[in-house]
């Protein structure tokens, strides 16, 4: 018997938390790169930008795809492509990601074990009912033969 492959609400929440954690670390990496990447050909930025403006730009990178493309291009010109940014973000939260993956896997295993037990009990009940109905049919047949 095939078990359904749906996730529990708690597992979905943990997946959402995992995605949010990765995004937060990506923003942190982007902010650090914006603060440390001097772009002499780019717009003139005051020293204040490197303190607070980079944080605002990093947050905007996460929400505004057009602006995010500009930031990606600027960082790619300095040797920081999106794959390396994502890799840094993963490395910053590796421990937390492992804990979340373990929690998700534990919940999925518990869910699957519960479903297997339910199906096992249903199959057992079904076989008992089948046997009982066969006995009733056999009993009625033997009574009719007498």
> What token pair was written down for 116?
């297997």
For residue 142, pLDDT beyond 60: no
What is the per-residue pLDDT across 74-121, written as a single tens digit (0 to 9) for each? 888 888 998 999 999 999 999 999 999 998 889 888 878 877 777 677
What distance in Å separates the CA atoms of residue 7 and residue 23, rounded to the nearest whole number?
22
Write down the H helix ranges in the chain.
9-36, 54-63, 65-77, 82-92, 94-145
What distance in Å separates the CA atoms of residue 107 and residue 146, rounded to the nearest whole number?
58
């Amino acid at each position: 018997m095939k078990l359904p492959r749906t996730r529990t609400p708690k597992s979905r929440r943990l997946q959402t938390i995992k995605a949010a954690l990765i995004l937060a670390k990506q923003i942190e990496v982007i902010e650090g790169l914006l603060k440390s990447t001097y772009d002499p050909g780019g717009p003139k930025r005051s020293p204040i930008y490197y303190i607070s403006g980079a944080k605002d730009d990093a947050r905007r990178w996460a929400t505004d795809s057009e602006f995010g493309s500009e930031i990606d291009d600027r960082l790619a010109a300095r040797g920081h492509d999106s794959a390396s940014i994502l890799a840094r973000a993963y490395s910053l939260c590796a421990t937390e990601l492992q804990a979340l993956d373990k929690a998700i896997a534990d919940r999925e295993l518990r869910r699957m074990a519960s479903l297997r037990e339910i199906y096992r009990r249903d199959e057992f009940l079904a076989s008992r009912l089948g046997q009982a109905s066969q006995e009733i049919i056999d009993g009625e047949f033997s009574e009719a033969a007498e």
